[in-house]
Copies of this chain bind each other. A is one copy, B any other.
Amino acid sequence: MPPFSRISVLGPGLLGGSLALALQARRPDADLRLWARRPGAEAEIRARGIRAAFFTDASAACAGADLVILATPVETMPALAEVIARTELAPDAVVTDVGSVKGSVVNALSPILGDRFLGSHPMAGSEKTGIATARADLFEGAACLLTPGPGQDARRLRALWESLGCRVLEMSPGEHDRKVARISHLPHWLAVVTTLAALRGDPEAVACAAGGFRDTTRVAGGDPDLWTGISLANREALLASLHEASSVLTELVEILAKPDEEALRRCLAEAKSLRDLLPAAQP
């Protein structure tokens, strides 16, 4: 299976821009193309040193491609998929995305693109968005979750992500959404809860903040539009995780209200042992 050689990236934000930078560094042989809605995006990508051919016509950007990567907000993907479906790609072409949810994306895109579509989710990003924050090493050491359907072969796509430095895991779209609700969307929401509960009633308390507040709430500085879209697209799994969080919070509040010192120590020790599962070196 030859590596992809004509790669179109749609959407030059943090992820699309980082993909372009990483691909031109790691795959200088590939024919790289970048699409954006706005003509003004070209100056921005050139300012970041991206040499890819630039298009504002999505069909022209994808013609003949053997890999198309959708790096736009999830709500805009179906319309782009319709354009791609009407475009002549390479015969063995693969279309993938970098969206934070997979069930709704696969359900929306597979009927349009058929077996060409195979979802990806590189677990990399930042509370910052846009091409200005893109970096060639964004995917280095990150997990990338692929969601091949029955009978779909993910090897060629896996090799691409591995060439960018990712650890690749394969799972179903449903399992993806449940795991990512736990490990990414829930932490985002609890960072929002922490920020609102801490500062709504006393914004001046921010003057006392140290590293704990800064890190615990970092992602709450993320783009509200982006996170509205992600939350609605993974609503069911996120609600299940939020109900779990609500039960845990109730349990801990009861323990502290009593107070039951031994139960408190046990819960804090349980949380520490679970947190310590995270490898220290992981990005």
Of B208, B215, B250, the residue contacting A169 (CB under 8 A) is B208
Interface residue ranges of A195-253 to B (CB < 8 Å): 195-203, 205-225, 227-228, 231-232, 235, 238-239, 241-250, 252-253
Task: Identify the stretch in A1-9, A122-130, A157-165 within 8 Å (CB) of chain B at 4 or more residues.
Answer: A122-130
Q: Which residues of A contact B (CB under 8 A)?
A: 123-126, 142-143, 145, 167, 169, 178-180, 182-184, 186-203, 205-225, 227-228, 231-232, 235, 238-239, 241-250, 252-253, 256-257, 259, 261, 264-265, 267-272, 274-278, 282-283
With A125-B211, A194-B187, A209-B278 already in contact, the answer to whether A199 and B225 are too (CB < 8 A) is: no
Choose from B125, B268, B275 the contact partner of A228 (Cβ within 8 Å).
B268
A212/B187 in contact, CB under 8 A: yes
Cβ contact within 8 Å between B267 and A192 = yes
B-chain residues with CB within 8 Å of residue A267 when the two chains form the complex: 192, 196
Shortest distance from the beta carbon of A198 to any chain B beta carbon, whole Å: 4
In the complex, which residues of chain B have a beta carbon less than 8 angstroms from the beta carbon of A244? 197, 200-201
A142 partner residues in chain B, CB cutoff 8 A: 210
The answer to whether A206 and B277 have CB atoms under 8 Å apart is yes
Do A222 and B187 contact each other (CB < 8 Å), given the known contacts A193-B248, A242-B253, A248-B197?
no
Q: Are A209 and B241 in contact (CB under 8 A)?
A: no
User: B199 touching A274 by the CB < 8 A rule?
Assistant: yes
Q: How far is the CA of A239 from the CA of B269 in the complex (A)?
A: 20
Whether B269 and A242, one on each chain, are in contact in the complex, defined by CB atoms closer than 8 angstroms, is no
Q: Give Cα A102 to B209, complex, Å.
A: 16
Interface contact A232-B179, CB-CB below 8 Å: no
Query: Which of these, B143, B183, B193, B241, contacts A190 with CB under 8 Å?
Result: B193
- Distance of A79 from chain B, by nearest CB (Å): 19
- Choose among B200, B228, B253, B261 the residue that contacts A264 (Cβ–Cβ < 8 A): B228
Alpha-carbon distance A217/B219, docked complex (angstroms)? 12
Nearest CB of B to A278, in Å: 6
- CB of B261 within 8 A of CB of A232, answer yes
In addition to A142-B210, A190-B193, 18 A-B residue pairs with Cβ atoms within 8 Å of each other are A125-B212, A167-B207, A182-B201, A182-B202, A183-B206, A183-B209, A186-B194, A186-B198, A187-B194, A214-B282, A215-B215, A220-B272, A220-B275, A221-B276, A232-B264, A243-B253, A246-B246, A246-B250
**A275–B210 CB distance below 8 A:** no
Which partner residue on chain B sits nearest A204 by CB separation? B179
